[in-house]
Amino acid sequence: MSEQDLSHSPPLKPLSQHLNVVAPLSLQQYREVQGYQGFERALGQSSEQVLDIIKASNLRGRGGAGFPTGMKWSFVPTPNGDLGPRYLVANADEMEPGAFKDRWLMEGAPHQLIEGMLIAAHTICATVGYIFIRNEYSLAAARLQSAIDECLEAGLLGDNILGSRLCFQLHIHTSAGRYICGEETALINALEGKRAIPRAKPPFPQVAGLWGRPTIVNNVETFYNLPNLLRFGAQWYQSLGLLDDAGSKIFGVSGRVKNPGLWELPMGTSIREIIEQHAGGMADGYQLRAYLPGGGSTDFLLPEHLDTAMEYNTISAVGSRMGTGTIIVLDDRNCPVDMILNLVSFFSQESCGWCTPCREGLPSASYLLRQIEEGNGKLSDLQYLTDIIELISFGNTFCALAPGAAEPLQSGLKFFAEDFAQHIKQQCCPYH
């Protein structure tokens, strides 16, 4: 079977082409627009062949780290006669501040997530899947459950799917809701009914994950790439990107812009285009001062970085991360110290407390920032904050929660040094 589907024109927006948040497509309607054809093409090939296509596409995980999807899946051992369960998990516990892309996708196109998970299940020989979704996403969960029920009735889930050897059960797990569940091993612990804390690695989940069995955890948006990738091939998928990174991406903007929201755009789209064209630019009377390019756990960038392409390596080169691709805008009337305090306080609250640097460092940083914001800060507090950033940096903590929390703080101390100094010298917030 050839790699590329020539029977229909490739979509310009493969993630959101059939998305409808008011009335998502039923199974019948989804199949009428070639839904599940990507899965059927996958079934017509071996798991190894499908994995080769995903590797060749250069699809990278859309949860924030951007790890190559095909490489991650290649670490799952081949069954070789092992008849035990193998697990596939969609991480829909979207709690990154400023991120709301996965909710949009799940509410508007639930069948596309199921199709993507079916392709992944065939590729890694998974037998059981879970959609690990936060409790607040009740509408998304209800629509996904309705889609799952339709698939069960149509033989797209269960045993010997579409007459193949693939047997795959899919379940929705409603999370109690903690940010730490965005870390895949903490998510696995939560699924097992344990305290949501990260696990030591190795062993990695691909070898010994959920209940000690091979497990893959991927972000929701990652799965949405798979149906059209299997239909139209790796070369087509690579052609969607403007620079080095392949595919399209759901980008978003929140803050004081004229048109906050989400848009599917090519990887490599500039930050300027996203903010000024798609988000409509700053609201009347406000000026852009800075922005977090990939959610609340990324470093601030400045207006001088607006022409930076939104792709993983390019963003890293200017000192931040693409993360979730959902931009949080800071305007000239909002206090940057207060914004950083809000973020650090959130991460402090969400710390699982498993390692000392995170458990002790984040509350200390939150306390010092609050003292500064309320007019009780001292110049020596700035050095203490710098020391805390070093304490909670990568290599000193059990997972990436605290190092991520440090990113808006460390860049804020650099870019807004005068604001911090004014708070301390004037003994009040100059924005109030």
pLDDT of residue 39: 98
Q: Which residues contact 28 (CB under 8 A, 6 or more apart)?
A: none
* CA–CA separation, 67 and 61 (whole Å): 5
Which residues in the chain land under pLDDT 50?
1-2
Q: Across the chain, which distance is largest between two alpha carbons, in Å?
A: 74
335 and 329 Cβ atoms separated by less than 8 Å: no
Q: Give the pairing type, strands 169-175 and 261-266.
A: unpaired
For 358-379, letters b (16+ CB in 10 Å) and e give beebbbbbbbbbbbbbeeebee
Beta strands across the sheet bearing 215-219: 169-175, 128-134, 87-92, 215-219
* CA–CA separation, 381 and 272 (whole Å): 35
Q: What does the radius of gyration of the chain's CA atoms come to, in whole angstroms?
A: 22
Q: Which residues pair with 173 in a beta bridge?
A: 132
Q: Which residues contact 414 (CB under 8 A, 6 or more apart)?
A: none
Give the domains, in start order, of the chain with CATH numbers.
27-238 (3.40.50.11540), 251-331 (3.10.20.600), 336-426 (1.20.1440.230)
pLDDT of residue 153: 97
From 282, 384, 372, select the one nearest 333 (Cα to Cα). 282
199 and 185 Cβ atoms separated by less than 8 Å: yes
* CA–CA separation, 117 and 130 (whole Å): 9
Residue 226 burial by Cβ neighbours in a 10 Å radius (0-12, 13-18, 19+): buried
243 and 268 Cβ atoms separated by less than 8 Å: yes
From 14, 205, 226, 219, select the one nearest 120 (Cα to Cα). 226
* CA–CA separation, 420 and 39 (whole Å): 54
Instruction: Please identify which residue in the block is written with the tokens 């590797």.
Output: 55
- Cis omega before residue 336 (within 30°)? no
Q: Which residues contact 253 (CB under 8 A, 6 or more apart)?
A: 260, 261, 274, 275, 278, 279, 326, 327, 329
pTM of the model: 0.95
pLDDT of residue 3: 53
* CA–CA separation, 121 and 138 (whole Å): 25
User: What is the C-alpha end-to-end distance of the chain, expressed in Å?
Assistant: 66
* CA–CA separation, 40 and 46 (whole Å): 12
Q: Which long-range contacts (CB under 8 A, 24 or more apart) does 68-74 make?
A: 69/218, 69/222, 72/206, 72/216, 72/218, 73/120, 73/123, 73/124, 73/206, 73/216
Q: What angle do CA 221, 394, 324 make, to 5 degrees?
A: 20
Q: Which segments of 232-285 are extended strands (E)?
A: 248-254, 261-266
110 and 223 Cβ atoms separated by less than 8 Å: no
120 and 126 Cβ atoms separated by less than 8 Å: yes
CA dist list (Å): 51 to 64, 126, 164, 261: 22, 13, 18, 33
